[in-house]
Amino acid sequence: MTSPAITKQSLGTGYVVATGVVLSVALLAHGLSIVQPSPIDVVILSVGLTPALALVAANYWIPISGLSGDQIWTAAEWCGFGVALFTVIKLLVLLVPVPQSSMVPSILASGVAVGGFGGILFGWLLELRRSRRRLTQSNEVLFRVLRHDLRNDLNVALGHIGELQRSAAERGEMSPESKARVERLNDSIDDIITTTEKARQIEFAFDADRRAQQPIDLVPYVRDHVRTITEAHPETTVELDLPEQSRVYADWMLDTVLQNVIENAVIHCEESPTLYITVEEHDRSVFVHVGDNCPSIPQHERDVLGSGTETPLKHSKGVGLWLTTWIVESYGGAVHLTTTDDGNTVTLEFRGPTVLDEIRETLREWP
């Protein structure tokens, strides 16, 4: 049986916890030694014990704080810096010739605990800021590669395939089997290009602060997409239960949300699809239910949507479901997925207009 490897993460967490244990024991020991503590004594002990116990619990909250590996080690270094800084400050204060109090040890330990917790908090915020900056940079590079580099290369590949196909056909060297394979290859590349085109939409989905959200009537959007899907797939049957008007807090990406949900329900259906689309309003929330009679969505895809994470073994197919979820969540809503033996239902939950929005709309229409 091999012993667990010692890493910077474990060393950093261990140092923080050990610091908290030493300070907590020192404060508790001194507090118990006081026969009749005054309110000021209790306050001083509480001020020190709170950050000290927070350091003791670091083994639990640091791993779920968003830091890992070297980041935890860096945060621990800042904790050590805070401990050292406040220790020096307290020692300098104690050198001042003033009447000494019996609470000097508690004051010293409390100051050190505050310094240690303040240091690790500063290090945590600093590392989160660095992580955010690196994530932004990596997203920019990834979106550029998907939107430009990969898409351009795939278009070039399609052009070469087309030239080879025409050349082989002119020489009579293209058998029906080879032609079918080339067509499948073209379709696969077209699907990849379509996926790369969604990179721009994903970038907008993450950048909700730059999108002007306002109350929008979603009923016309639903009707437009139903008309489009039935024209493209005449075998599709759609049953609608819509109010005359239903306003939700959204922006122009609402069109992308409805398109993804309605098209996916039809495209992934093995038989003649039947869709059931209803819009309901409860309090100030609006629910769009898109049901189908298609085979149940695989369990691993439902798990991915529920957990919000993907792994090499558990992942969804494509990015449409993720894109839909990100956009709806940027509106302050949510996406719910239920499956039965009769089919699947995707529920889009939106925020309705607020009272302030209704007042603004009334003033805007005022003569």
* 217 and 200 belong to one structural domain: no
Q: What is the pLDDT of residues 10-32, one digit of tens each?
A: 888 888 888 889 888 888 887 77
What is the domain count for the chain?
Answer: 3
Per the CB < 8 A criterion, the answer to whether 219 and 246 are in contact is yes
Last residue of a domain, one of 103, 136, 169: 136
Q: What is the pLDDT of residues 79-138, one digit of tens each?
A: 888 888 888 887 777 676 555 556 666 777 788 888 888 888 888 888 888 877 877 777
Q: What is the pLDDT of residues 336-349, one digit of tens each?
A: 888 887 888 999 99
Domain-embedded: residue 2: no
Average pLDDT over residues 176-204: 76
Per the CB < 8 A criterion, the answer to whether 155 and 113 are in contact is no
* 228 and 305 belong to one structural domain: yes
| Residue 9 pLDDT greater than 70, yes or no | yes
* 339 and 215 belong to one structural domain: yes
| Residue 297 pLDDT greater than 80, yes or no | no
Instruction: Give 313 or 304, the one with higher predicted confidence.
Output: 304
Last residue of a domain, one of 83, 117, 136: 136
Per the CB < 8 A criterion, the answer to whether 219 and 244 are in contact is yes
pLDDT (0 to 100) of residue 276: 92
Phi and psi of 93, rounded to 5°? -65, -40
Per the CB < 8 A criterion, the answer to whether 333 and 348 are in contact is yes
* 346 and 240 belong to one structural domain: yes
Other CB atoms within 10 Å distance of the CB of residue 279: 20
* 121 and 38 belong to one structural domain: yes
Domain that holds residue 153: 147-209
Instruction: Give 29 or 208, the one with higher predicted confidence.
Output: 29
Domain-embedded: residue 227: yes
Domain-embedded: residue 301: yes
* 59 and 170 belong to one structural domain: no
Domain-embedded: residue 264: yes
State the residue for tokens 């990596």: 138
Query: Which structure tokens are listed for 115?
Result: 């310094």
pLDDT (0 to 100) of residue 312: 43
Per the CB < 8 A criterion, the answer to whether 251 and 212 are in contact is yes
* 189 and 308 belong to one structural domain: no
Q: Which uninterrupted H or E stretch holds 178?
A: helix 176-206
Domain-embedded: residue 95: yes
Residue 123 CB-density burial (10 A; 0-12 exposed, 13-18 middle, 19+ buried) = buried
Q: What is the pLDDT of residues 236-261, one digit of tens each?
A: 889 999 999 999 988 888 998 999 89
| Residue 318 pLDDT greater than 60, yes or no | no
